[in-house]
A and B are shown apart, each in its own frame.
Chain A
Amino acid sequence: MDFAFMRDTFFTLIGGVPLTLNLAFTSVALGAVLAMLLALMRMSGVRALDWPAQAYVFVFRGTPLLVQIFLIYYGLGQFRPTLQAWGLWTFFREPYWCAVFALTLNTAAYASEIIRGGLQAVPYNQVEAARACGMSGFLLFRRIIFPIAVRQALPAYGSEIILMVKATSLASVITMMEVTGLAAKLISQTFRAVEVFVVAGLIYLILNFIITRIIMAIEWWLSPHLRRPPSVEPRLEAAHV
């Protein structure tokens, strides 16, 4: 192992981290909105809403992400005149936006199932209690259902975020120079696959470790009711005032 080479590789690859995180977080944030919509569609009980959402989830979970990326990046080029007429071509011409678009659509499918699971795990007596207090509609959702569902869904959502960080590597196939893209370029230039692989893998592990820790911190922060109460020594003098 050539450690000087590995150090140089590390500093080259670290340049791809902002793009990796940018792709991951943009698509997770946009995907969460779409996922919420899909989950509500599935739980609406209206067949005309439920059915398309189900089909969407089936299609996007059943096909490889790379196929989805190619379909959007290369495939939509077939409709270039139409897209130009609609003014969308500037969007679909850019590999960055194609990658974000594909990753968003993909994560929305997985995340909608996670959110649906969280919403369905809300105990019904909580909802009944809230209704008895006179809450309904959006207030009930905002104060009771959503906060409980978020706590239920957070661990699964955390692993989905990790999966998305890993999935951004596929953007390298459509010329995005994030960590994997830089690593592939470096490997094909130097033919030192093992060293580059070790460094790139290490970067991903560090990123994922930090993200896991952040999610764990959020979980901890959201669950004060599950924590042991801090033992407070009773102040003796206060009783004698």
Chain B
Amino acid sequence: MQQLSYFELVGFGPNGWGWSLLTAAGMTIAVALCGFLAGSIVGTLVAWGKIGGNAIIRGLADGYTTVLRGIPDLLVIYLFYFGGSAALGAIGSLFGADGFIGVPAFATGAMAIGIVSGAYQAEVFRGAYQVVSRGEIEAARSVGMHRWLMFRRIIAPQVLRYAIPGLGNTWQLVLKESALISVTGLVELLRQSHIAAGSTRRPFDFYITAAVLYLLITWVSTYLFQRAETHSMRGMRRAS
């Protein structure tokens, strides 16, 4: 068989892997986005625990962020992948279903990313909350706002504004972490490149393409976060 050129290989022709790589890149973005949003929810709750909780809740929240930032992400993914199917298997055996029940790889991946990035986002939110001036919160209370209203109108908008740079960093982490989900068999960008590399015996060409696509996603998201930052900071007086 005649050796295909690089552009035939990753292009959109009959022998090209272009579409499958792009679909896989879409899957990477989807799983990273779901994980990031799950992480935002976890992070908000943990940050709340760190700021407003009693000693026990604060200790738990601190323990959570310390542990999750101190162990490798891959280990967490293995826990969710194997642990999740073991738990489902146990539930299944209660209902008489024997054998291995696989957890959907997408849900596992998004959950694992959410749990890990939640720890990072909690620190980002906590840092941002501390920047919100006490006077604003007192003012909100003095006009009679209740907790939820105050959170929605005063705290959340300001925390989000100050958190955007930190969230941008976390998003980059999440994006790179999503490559680890490939070990569970989810066909995202790295997995698809692995498959293509295996079936064409051109590993370098595919992995370098994957690297370029990851760079492209990183680059676009950096730009978007910068836009969001300047947008959120409009009307703010800057020191410099």
| A contacts, CB < 8 Å to B | 58-59, 62-68, 70-71, 74-79, 162, 166-170, 172-173, 180, 183-184, 187-188, 191-194, 197, 200-201, 204-205, 208-209
In contact, B176 and A65 (Cβ under 8 angstroms): yes
In contact, A67 and B83 (Cβ under 8 angstroms): no
In contact, A71 and B208 (Cβ under 8 angstroms): yes
Which of B81, B178, B204 lies in contact with A78, CB distance below 8 A?
B204
Which of A63, A170, A183, A191 lies in contact with B86, CB distance below 8 A?
A191
17 extra interface residue pairs, beta carbon distance < 8 Å, beyond A201-B75, A204-B75: A58-B215, A63-B211, A63-B218, A66-B182, A67-B210, A75-B197, A78-B201, A78-B203, A170-B74, A172-B74, A187-B78, A193-B83, A193-B86, A194-B83, A197-B78, A208-B70, A209-B70
Q: How near does chain A come to B237, taking the closest CB pair, in angstroms? A: 26
In contact, A67 and B82 (Cβ under 8 angstroms): no
For the complex, what is the distance from the CA of A32 to the CA of B149, rounded to whole Å?
A: 50
How many residue pairs bridge A and B at CB < 8 Å? 121
| Chain A minimum-CB-distance residue to B89 | A191
Which of A65, A74, A167, A183 lies in contact with B78, CB distance below 8 A?
A183
In contact, B182 and A78 (Cβ under 8 angstroms): no
In contact, A64 and B179 (Cβ under 8 angstroms): yes
In contact, B180 and A70 (Cβ under 8 angstroms): no
Taking CB atoms, residues of chain B closer than 8 Å to A63 are 176, 211, 214-215, 218
For the complex, what is the distance from the CA of A74 to the CA of B202, rounded to whole Å?
A: 9
For the complex, what is the distance from the CA of A205 to the CA of B73, rounded to whole Å?
A: 13
For the complex, what is the distance from the CA of A193 to the CA of B201, rounded to whole Å?
A: 34
For the complex, what is the distance from the CA of A64 to the CA of B207, rounded to whole Å?
A: 11
Residue B67 at the chain A interface, CB threshold 8 Å: yes
| Chain B minimum-CB-distance residue to A209 | B70
Taking CB atoms, residues of chain B closer than 8 Å to A205 are 66-67, 70-71
Chain A contact surface mostly = helix
| B contacts, CB < 8 Å to A | 66-67, 70-76, 78-79, 81-83, 86, 172, 175-180, 182-183, 190, 193-194, 197, 201-205, 207-208, 210-211, 214-215, 218-219
Q: With A66-B182, A201-B75 in contact, is A77–B176 under 8 Å at CB?
A: no
Q: With A62-B218, A62-B219 in contact, is A74–B207 under 8 Å at CB?
A: yes
For the complex, what is the distance from the CA of A134 to the CA of B25, rounded to whole Å?
A: 57
Q: With A75-B208, A76-B204 in contact, is A64–B176 under 8 Å at CB?
A: yes
Taking CB atoms, residues of chain B closer than 8 Å to A58 are 215
In contact, A67 and B70 (Cβ under 8 angstroms): no
For the complex, what is the distance from the CA of A59 to the CA of B211, rounded to whole Å?
A: 8
| 10 A-B pairs whose Cβ atoms sit less than 8 Å apart in the complex | A62-B218, A64-B179, A70-B194, A78-B201, A78-B205, A167-B72, A180-B72, A191-B86, A204-B71, A208-B70
For the complex, what is the distance from the CA of A119 to the CA of B208, rounded to whole Å?
A: 33
Taking CB atoms, residues of chain B closer than 8 Å to A66 are 179-180, 182, 190
Best-buried of B66, B70, B86 by chain A (most CB within 10 Å) = B70
In contact, B190 and A64 (Cβ under 8 angstroms): yes
| Chain A minimum-CB-distance residue to B183 | A173
For the complex, what is the distance from the CA of A187 to the CA of B176, rounded to whole Å?
A: 25
